[in-house]
Amino acid sequence: MSSYAIRAENLSKRFWLNAERHTSLKARVVRGKLPRGHEFWALRDASFEIERGSTFGLVGQNGSGKSTTLKVLAGIYRPTSGSVVVDGRVSALLELGSGFHGDLTGRENIRLNGAILGLTGKQVDAAMDKILDFAGIGEFIDLPVKIYSSGMFVRLAFAIAVSLDPEILMVDEVIAVGDEEFQRKCFDHLFDLRKRGTTIVLVTHSLGLIRDMCDQAMWLEHGQIRKLGPAMEVADSYLADINEREVQAHQVSGGEESAANESKRLGSGEVRITSLEFLDGEGKPNPVLPGRYGRARDRRR
């Protein structure tokens, strides 16, 4: 067995963006074929490897290609060019409600997802109580999922994804939809899976989670790899870039904001704050304070 769970080489994914579409067969017959729109590369020439049993994080701004990358790795999208090899049974938690049939009950969807993952009915039955306990949605488990709230969707989807013995778990940002208690429960379980050797690929905007949980990380920008390496280094570089952009934006808009704030002063005017300046460790002006992240609890390690 290879030491790598996932290998991607020059991986690219292209979409064609069309301003208008046919909405019916009649429109297609009458109007004919529409001209092809302009191409958009959501992912371009990405090469990386994910070691078996490691946790790999994907960071970047919205629209940078993180979710597209995850869907290509999960087999939902076929790459336009390049190759990807995924060695292991994949369980994916991507878009809210993906893989669910709205007219089926929660229990029936558990069986459906188990079958999609290649598990037998006995294996799904053996995990059923564990899934129901983790999801914690009570009597709603026997009602059609189309009436579920977004939080209930996430509870059931995550419970299925982590309870059916995944070898490779892929998780998008959807956990953030859940309440605080359930999020903690999810992250505790992810740390447990990590200890047991499950390969985890995680898309998140939380740099604290990247620092605390991930071994390696990849920073994407406009579909291309900006930095790839140890999670701490990638998180620091990404944060530094965000701060630098904010500094530049602050310098451009500083004069306009000062004039606007002058007209919004409150109070009697006996004491007036005319300026505020942040300094770094060397006493130099720094308009952006660096972020601080809490560390994971010791028991998670």
Residue 78 has a pLDDT of 93
Q: How large is the angle between the packed helices 106-116 and 150-163, nearest 10 degrees?
A: 40
Residue 181 lies in a domain: yes
Residue 89 has a pLDDT of 85
In one-letter notation, the amino acid at residue 200 is I
Q: What are phi and psi of 116, to 5 degrees?
A: -60, -35
What CATH number corresponds to the domain at position 149?
Answer: 3.40.50.300
Three-class SS state of 271: coil
Residue 27 lies in a domain: no
Residue 56 lies in a domain: yes
Using CA atoms, how far apart are residues 126 and 12, in angstroms rounded to an integer?
Answer: 39
Three-class SS state of 262: helix
Residue 31 lies in a domain: no
Instruction: Name 104's Cβ contacts closer than 8 Å, sequence gap at least 6.
Output: 112, 144, 145
Residue 278 lies in a domain: no
Whose tokens are 């990386």? That residue is 48
> How many other C-beta atoms lie within 10 A of the C-beta of residue 179?
11
Residue 262 has a pLDDT of 56
Q: What are phi and psi of 42, to 5 degrees?
A: -75, -25
Using CA atoms, how far apart are residues 89 and 84, in angstroms rounded to an integer?
Answer: 15
Instruction: Tell me the per-residue pLDDT of 125-143, one tens digit each, with 9 for 90 and over.
Output: 888 988 888 888 888 999 9
Using CA atoms, how far apart are residues 102 and 79, in angstroms rounded to an integer?
Answer: 29
The candidate with the shortest Cα–Cα distance to 54, out of 94, 88, 11, 78, is 88
Using CA atoms, how far apart are residues 21 and 27, in angstroms rounded to an integer?
Answer: 9
The candidate with the shortest Cα–Cα distance to 168, out of 106, 273, 85, is 85
Q: Where are the beta strands (DSSP E) in 18-89?
A: 38-51, 55-59, 81-86
Q: Report H helices in 24-168.
A: 25-31, 66-74, 106-116, 121-135, 150-163
Three-class SS state of 58: strand
State the Cα angle at 79 between 78 and 83, rounded to 5°: 115
Residue 97 has a pLDDT of 61
Residue 272 has a pLDDT of 76
Instruction: Name 107's Cβ contacts closer than 8 Å, sequence gap at least 6.
Output: 128, 141, 142
Q: Are strands 168-171 and 199-203 parallel, antiparallel or unpaired?
A: parallel
105 DSSP 8-state letter: B
Q: Are strands 90-93 and 168-171 parallel, antiparallel or unpaired?
A: parallel
pTM of the entire predicted model: 0.73
Domain that holds residue 147: 4-19+37-231
Residue 288 lies in a domain: no
Residue 256 lies in a domain: no
Residue 257 has a pLDDT of 56
Helix (H) / strand (E) containing 190: helix 180-195
Up-side HSE of residue 255: CA atoms within 13 Å toward CB? 1
Q: What are phi and psi of 59, to 5 degrees?
A: -125, 160
Whose tokens are 């606007």? That residue is 260
**Domain tally, the chain:** 1
- Residues of the chain short of pLDDT 70, as ranges, are 1-2, 19-36, 95-98, 174-178, 252-268, 287-301
Using CA atoms, how far apart are residues 206 and 181, in angstroms rounded to an integer?
Answer: 17
Residue 137 lies in a domain: yes
